[in-house]
């Protein structure tokens, strides 16, 4: 694993303002993982870039400024609401949520009730792992070649939580292959969820969860193997930047585009 691998200390729930009940859908898992994920994102927004890696003055600059974040499989949009509340616009300028069309009404309701700036957290867009490359490219902001209508990558961070063990593996591979078209050079793909290592479960609870997934979600749902995800990302032009152990036998993998 990368030399940048390491654990982060989860933020305690104490000291954070209680979220007001919303009429829209709620994912309890968001309440459990938003604090440790917040800590991971902080490391990306404040980590030294290549030019500052050997800085001996301890005055390193943030790695990313006014970042544009694209979230895949945003579900209830609760992560988007929380993180745009926690991070200043100079850290995260835009957080764009995406998911299947069936999820958009609930996401839109939560965003309308959340304390978010529409310019920073706009209405969600329809996107799936299996959508065409053209659809993924349409999410990029600027047209580089008006003749060919090619849009250069424009997202500093692509984030997804609890999606790879739900989606079929073939869909996950399609996602990994398309990320290179939307993430800027030096940008990141951040994926949160449970993973197997060295072909084995990391806990008995994960083994039970894997059985539950196959019985209650889909026969194609499963906890993914870290090594397979790492290979798919390497094939797609990324390298492992960090592997953060998370609470409840989860991990937050961070891949950086070469």
The two structure tokens encoding residue 242: 């960090």
Q: Determine the 3-state secondary structure of 43 from DSSP.
A: helix
Residues of the chain with pLDDT under 70: 1-22, 46-64, 142-150
pTM comes to 0.84
Domain annotation covers residue 18 = no
Q: What is the pLDDT of residues 163-216, one digit of tens each?
A: 999 999 999 999 999 999 999 999 999 999 999 999 999 999 999 999 999 999
> Is 38 inside a domain boundary?
no
Domain count, the chain: 1
Which tokens hold the place of 229? 């995800």
SS3 call for 165: coil
Whether residue 13 lies inside any domain: the answer is no
**Is residue 48 situated within a structural domain?**
no
Contact 110, 77 (CB under 8 A): yes
* Enclosing domain of residue 101: 64-257
Is residue 134 assigned to a domain?
yes
Q: Supply the pLDDT for residue 214.
A: 97
Whether 19 maps to a domain, the answer reads: no
Q: What is the pLDDT of residue 56?
A: 46
Q: How many separate helices (H) and strands (E) can be counted in the chain?
A: 7, 9
Q: Is 30 within the bounds of a domain?
A: no
CATH number at residue 174: 3.40.50.150
pLDDT digits (tens, 9 = 90+) for 74-88: 999 999 999 999 999
- Report if residue 40 sits inside a domain: no
Helices of type H across the chain: 28-46, 78-86, 104-113, 133-137, 169-178, 204-216, 226-235
């Amino acid at each position: 694993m990368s030399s940048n691998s390491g654990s982060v200390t989860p933020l305690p729930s104490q000291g954070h303002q209680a979220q007001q009940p919303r009429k829209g859908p709620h994912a309890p898992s968001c309440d459990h993982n938003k604090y440790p994920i917040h800590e991971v994102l902080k490391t990306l927004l404040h980590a030294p870039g290549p030019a500052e890696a050997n800085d001996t003055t301890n005055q390193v600059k943030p790695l990313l400024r006014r970042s544009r974040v694209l979230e895949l499989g945003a579900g209830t949009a609760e992560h988007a609401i929380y993180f745009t509340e926690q991070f200043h616009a100079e850290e995260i300028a835009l957080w764009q949520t995406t998911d299947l069309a069936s999820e958009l009404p609930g996401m839109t309701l939560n965003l309308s009730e959340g304390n978010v700036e529409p310019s920073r957290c706009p209405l969600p867009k329809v996107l799936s792992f299996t959508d065409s490359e053209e659809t993924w490219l349409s999410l990029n902001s600027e047209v580089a070649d008006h003749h060919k209508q090619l849009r250069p990558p424009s997202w500093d961070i692509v984030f997804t939580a609890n999606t790879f063990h739900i989606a079929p593996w073939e869909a996950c591979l399609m996602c990994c292959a398309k990320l290179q078209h939307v993430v800027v050079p030096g940008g990141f793909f951040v994926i949160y969820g449970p993973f197997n290592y060295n072909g084995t479960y990391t806990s008995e609870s994960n083994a039970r969860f894997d059985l539950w997934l196959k019985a209650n979600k889909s026969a194609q749902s499963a906890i993914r193997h870290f090594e397979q995800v790492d290979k798919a990302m390497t094939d797609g032009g990324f390298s492992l930047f960090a592997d953060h152990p998370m609470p409840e036998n989860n991990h937050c993998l961070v891949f950086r585009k070469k």
